Amino acid sequence: MSKAFTRESDADDAEDGDAPALPPLPPGQRNYMTPAGHARLRAELLHLLDEERPRVVEIVHWAASNGDRSENGDYLYGKKRLREIDRRIRFLTKRLEIAEVVDPSVHHGSEQVFFGATVTFANARGEERTVTIKGVDEADSLSGEISWVAPVARALLRARVGDEVVLRTPGGDEALEVLEVSYPAKV
């Protein structure tokens, strides 16, 4: 059947439903991530390919066999969900293709800030904050994880315990003192 006779539109493909928008990677940069972050994205991709997509395809096939598709909720929702799954599969595939897995445990015992470090720092007002520097696709700010491309992470990278770094903000420069640096233990 021609797409001209269905109520679906190409605009549905442009919507990103419930998928959060992730910050883009800097041009020409690799997609750095920890082994755990890589494993989590890979597991999500395999789950979508091996379980979720086949289940939705089966539902859509069943709904299509029921006749009139224009008012068939199972068919319409299934097609929309299938587009969302395919969009997420494309996204994960692209991100994993350019992924560069970096094991932060190789720096265990170091006092210098590199990718994967958990850093405690203080600002000029004495307020302390602890963050873990992770990949763009695995950072979770609510858990104290920041992306390596975040301004705070960029300011902290390569600094050592006791160093003072400058964080450039829209409100002006802010001095941060690195108090502690730690890495996960080697496995």
- 133 and 150 together in one domain: yes
Specify the 3-state DSSP secondary structure of 124: coil
Half-sphere exposure of 145 (CA within 13 A, CB side): 13
20, part of any domain: no
1, part of any domain: no
Task: Give the domain CATH number at 155.
Answer: 3.10.50.30
Task: Give the domain CATH number at 93.
Answer: 1.10.287.180
Cα–Cα dist 129/122, whole Å: 6
Q: Give the model's pLDDT for residue 116.
A: 95
- 97 and 128 together in one domain: no
**Average pLDDT, stretch 93-120?**
94
**Average pLDDT, stretch 4-27?**
50
Query: For 35-74, what is each residue's pLDDT tens digit?
Result: 999 999 999 999 999 999 999 999 999 888 887 777 788 8
**Average pLDDT, stretch 76-90?**
95
